[in-house]
Amino acid sequence: MAKGKLSIAIVGAGMGGLAVAATLRRAGIAVQVYEQAPRFARIGAGIQMMPNSMKVLRGIDVEEKLRQTSFQPYSHLNREGDTGKVMRELPMPESLFGAPYLCMHRADLHDALLSAVPEEIIHLDKKLVGLEQSAGQVTMVFADSTRARADAVIGADGVHSVVRDIIIGPDEPIHKGRIAYRAVFPSTLLNGGDIGASRTKWWGADRHIVIYYTTPTRSEAYFVTSVPEPAEWLTRESWSAKGDVKELRKAYEGFHPDVRAVLEACPDCHKWAILEREPLPKWSEGRVALLGDACHPMTPYMAQGAATAIEDAAILARCLAEVGGEDIEKAFHRYEAHRKPRTSRIQAISSANTWMKGGSDDTTWLYGYDAWNVPLTPTEPHVEAV
Ligand SMILES: Cc1cc2nc3c(=O)[nH]c(=O)nc-3n(C[C@H](O)[C@H](O)[C@H](O)COP(=O)(O)OP(=O)(O)OC[C@H]3O[C@@H](n4cnc5c(N)ncnc54)[C@H](O)[C@@H]3O)c2cc1C
């Protein structure tokens, strides 16, 4: 595709927005990114990148950067919350799925994605409030009353997506009364304690906690929980809401001493509402399409929310490259046809919170997926061959 032939605007500079900015540029498409935040803050949280998303990140040249800032766990380890008995362990050597499994600070992933695109294409303090489509162009309207135009728009604006509201209609995400406490803190606070070489999920009857290191030197420890919240608690901007560390410790009183030691060591914590949605009826309208949490938000229980947003980015770029900038709507339909069955399946398993709880089901369909090379699903099977 000739560079500059097609111009695409991306709303949202989160994990999905930055990833798709990089994959579209790789396909020779001109891109501008509009982000509501006035600056990027270092949100205290960890994130796991599984081999399926690491393959996409390799293609946009951020793998090496991430290796330098991340912890590479030995395995995906699942243990009973109280006894510590191993329920399922999946060692994750790179050779298993052709890419590493890395655990990192969320801000290090964001920084790495930022480094994959030129600074000048990112426009901060641009909160989208309206969209108009006419004559093969999309006009974006921002809260500061400015406007910008592009041949197409990608809504990568997260679980509370304004783009989704505009093209599909407003509704509220599903909140099943569960919250996630989280904290990143220096490992020195563990007083010599070690959380182990694996990423460990400790399963209780109605709650769990996931614990891992986020740096190669194990200098930072991270945990994230899922616990029932008695009161209906939901914030629109939940990244910065503080949690009560005493309440958190109480919620895990019956857990294994290794878990309690981590919670005793953590000085404070934040909390998130855990939100999800049923699969949407459609992912695009005309020249506007959705990506990531904007179209398939899921519970974090499979660690696949950002990963699937990053996969979307590779598939969308491939679909757009295939039409050579000509039939954008067709490319958007093909993208949805390819992605929706996979993301809907992941949304459903994440919602049920059964992934790796036990058993020995094959995980290759999830971690072995290679978004750069998987055959694209035809939009109309009777017309096109794969
Ligand atoms: C507790 C927890 C743990 C998680 N752990 C993992 C994990 O280990 N692995 C994993 O893969 N995923 C994980 N996730 C999921 C992951 O965080 C999300 O799926 C991912 O951030 C989605 O990326 P996104 O780009 O779609 O949305 P976001 O990252 O939410 O980015 C959206 C961006 O759009 C901007 N924006 C919003 N509205 C507007 C507007 N109107 N105009 C302009 N900009 C706008 C926002 O400011 C933001 O920058 C976890 C989630 C939670 C809650």
Q: Which of 231-235, 238-242, 351-355 has the lowest mean pLDDT?
A: 231-235
- Report the pLDDT value the prediction gives residue 234, as an integer from 0 to 100: 59
Residue nearest to atom 48 of ligand 1 (CA): 14
- Which atom, in ligand 1's list, is nearest to the CA of 297? 19
Percent of the chain beyond pLDDT 70? 95
pLDDT of residue 324: 83
Output the six-digit token pair for 367.
């971690």
For 96, other C-beta atoms within 10 Å of its C-beta total 15
Q: Find the range with the poorest average confidence among 100-109, 135-144, 166-175, 195-204.
A: 166-175
Of 121-130, 171-180, 204-213, 358-367, the range with the lowest mean pLDDT is 171-180
Tokens at residue 13, please?
């500079």
Quote the pTM value.
0.95
Contact 221, 205 (CB under 8 A): no
Q: How far apart are CA 144 and CA 162, in angstroms?
A: 16
Residue 29 Cα to ligand 1 midpoint, Å, equals 24
pLDDT score, position 174:
83
Tokens coding 267: 């000085």
Ligand 1: atom nearest CA of 13 is 49
**Tens-place pLDDT, residues 139-150:** 999 999 999 999
Rounded to the nearest whole angstrom, what is the distance from the C-alpha of residue 305 to the centroid of ligand 1?
Answer: 8
